[in-house]
């Protein structure tokens, strides 16, 4: 591996890097390179050999946010992303892109090109049906979460893994943007004028909201339960028929399982709110059925994986402990689902399902529905134990 000094790649230097440093391609004459990153934190290059069709993705962590060079970030988060993808690929095969190489000198991940897939959020906004979405996502979360927990891993090995995945900068972002600003009118909040009075009354002026979010935040900060994806919304998933690929694990760290599960669930709920608001009832019903499938398959596979892989003494011998543990994960799921739904409507980073409307009255209905659902989840976390509970709430 070439260990020359760190430089930020452009399309030309990324192309040269793929040939001269990685030796992924034999020569550069037939290569095309395009920067395709649409996120806030990294540069992403797709390189294709026009003769063979062979292709590669290079993702480089920047020492600052693309949106602001003043927002400094540790570029070593790329190493965490690579480690996360490799670990999740072993535990849930074919559900993350293959990592070919990680270059610590330039913070570059070389990985599988997922052309042929599309971003799940865009597909779901457009009404694309994925029949096994809930079931496949449940399998991914169960295997990547439960099998990196103390239930399965040797206690000493687990502690070593926690240290490897310390992720201070990106955890700090989550702690502020998801788990503080969702209950607090901060300077970075973005709230539509038509929603401001409702949000102030129902969220920011309600001490019960602050209390519930505070508990969830401190659980996130102190509960190193399992290796999280850390940013598992439907914009971090590629999909095509019978294939889901979870990407962007740079937020990975050891935290509470329910954070990942709740974030994914929240994004399904917001998509259902969107389709209800625009009158697409058939697709709304499809999404609700996937929510039901997701929760019920998560519970079913959680028990199966626990019974197959558990190594810790009480996990192997005490049935009551197993179901207590699962119920706590489900309680956390409802709480973190609520936080994600609120912050995607009122925080600094919205989703298209809450913003993509020409008619402001329809948008307001979708946003208020979303917040109302979120508050029901936040105040009644212990009541949501199966898919039917979520479906009936909607």
pLDDT tens, residue by residue, 194-228: 999 999 999 999 999 999 999 999 999 999 999 99
**What confidence score (pLDDT) does residue 3 get?**
42
Contact 16, 7 (CB under 8 A): no
Is pLDDT of 170 > 50? Answer: yes
245 backbone dihedrals φ, ψ, rounded to 5°: -130, 115
Cα 53 to the center of its chain, rounded Å: 30
**Overall average pLDDT of the 143-148 stretch:** 98
**What confidence score (pLDDT) does residue 41 get?**
78
**What confidence score (pLDDT) does residue 62 get?**
86
Structure tokens at 362: 């329809």
Contact 202, 236 (CB under 8 A): no
Could you tell me where in the chain the CATH 3.30.200.20 domains are found? 11-111
Q: What pairing do the DSSP bridges indicate for beta strands 243-246 and 237-240?
A: antiparallel
In the numeric block, the tokens 């962007």 are attached to 248
**Overall average pLDDT of the 356-364 stretch:** 95
In the numeric block, the tokens 């020569």 are attached to 27
The beta-strand segments (E) located in the chain are 31-35, 42-49, 55-61, 64-65, 68-72, 99-103, 108-111, 118-119, 226-228, 237-240, 243-246, 253-255
What average pLDDT does the chain have? 95
CATH architecture under which domain 11-111 falls? 2-Layer Sandwich (3.30)
Percent over 90 (pLDDT), the chain: 90
Structure tokens at 87: 């670990």
CA-wise closest residue to 28 among 8, 14, 10, 43: 14
Is pLDDT of 38 > 80? Answer: no
CATH, domain range 118-393: 3.90.1200.10
Q: What is the pLDDT of residues 316-355, one digit of tens each?
A: 999 999 999 999 999 999 999 999 999 999 999 999 999 9
Q: What is the pLDDT of residues 275-312, one digit of tens each?
A: 999 999 999 999 999 999 999 999 999 999 999 999 99
**Bridge-partner residues for 49, per DSSP?**
31
Alpha-carbon gap, residue 231 to 190, rounded angstroms: 20
Could you tell me where in the chain the CATH 3.90.1200.10 domains are found? 118-393
CA torsion angle 252 173 337 163 (round to 10): 30
Is pLDDT of 1 > 90? Answer: no
């Amino acid at each position: 591996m070439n260990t020359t000094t760190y430089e930020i790649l452009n399309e030309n230097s990324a192309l040269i890097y793929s040939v001269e440093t990685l030796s992924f391609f034999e020569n550069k004459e037939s290569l095309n390179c395009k920067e395709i990153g649409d996120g806030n934190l990294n540069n992403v290059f797709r390189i294709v050999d026009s003769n063979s069709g062979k292709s590669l993705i290079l993702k480089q962590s920047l020492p600052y946010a693309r949106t602001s060079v003043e927002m400094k970030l540790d570029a070593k988060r790329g190493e965490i992303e690579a480690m996360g993808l490799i670990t999740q690929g072993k535990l849930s095969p074919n559900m993350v892109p293959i990592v070919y190489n990680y270059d610590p000198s330039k913070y570059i991940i070389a990985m599988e090109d997922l052309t042929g897939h599309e971003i799940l959020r865009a597909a779901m906004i457009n009404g694309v049906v994925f029949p096994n979405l809930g079931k496949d996502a449940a399998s991914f979360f169960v295997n990547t979460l439960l099998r990196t927990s103390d239930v399965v891993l040797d206690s000493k090995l687990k502690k070593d893994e926690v240290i490897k995945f310390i992720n201070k900068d990106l955890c700090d972002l989550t702690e502020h943007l998801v788990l503080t600003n969702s209950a607090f009118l901060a300077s970075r909040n973005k709230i539509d004028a038509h929603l401001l009075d409702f949000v102030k009354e129902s969220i920011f002026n309600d001490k019960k909201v602050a209390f519930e979010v505070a508990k969830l935040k401190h659980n996130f900060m102190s509960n190193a339960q399992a290796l999280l994806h850390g940013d598992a919304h439907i914009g971090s998933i590629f999909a095509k028929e019978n294939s889901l690929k979870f990407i962007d694990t740079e937020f990975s760290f050891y935290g509470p399982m329910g954070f990942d599960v709740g974030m994914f669930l929240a994004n399904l709920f917001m998509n259902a709110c969107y389709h209800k608001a625009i009158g697409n009832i058939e697709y709304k019903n499809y999404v609700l059925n996937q929510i039901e499938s997701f929760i019920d398959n998560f519970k079913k596979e959680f028990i199966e994986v626990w019974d197959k892989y558990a190594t810790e003494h009480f996990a192997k011998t005490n049935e009551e402990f197993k179901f207590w543990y699962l119920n706590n994960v489900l309680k956390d799921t409802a709480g973190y689902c609520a936080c994600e739904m609120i912050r995607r409507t009122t925080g600094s980073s919205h989703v298209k399902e809450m913003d993509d409307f020409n008619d402001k009255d329809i948008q307001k209905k979708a946003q208020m529905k979303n917040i109302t659902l979120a508050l029901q989840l936040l105040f009644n976390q212990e009541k949501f134990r199966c898919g039917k509970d979520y479906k009936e709430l909607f």
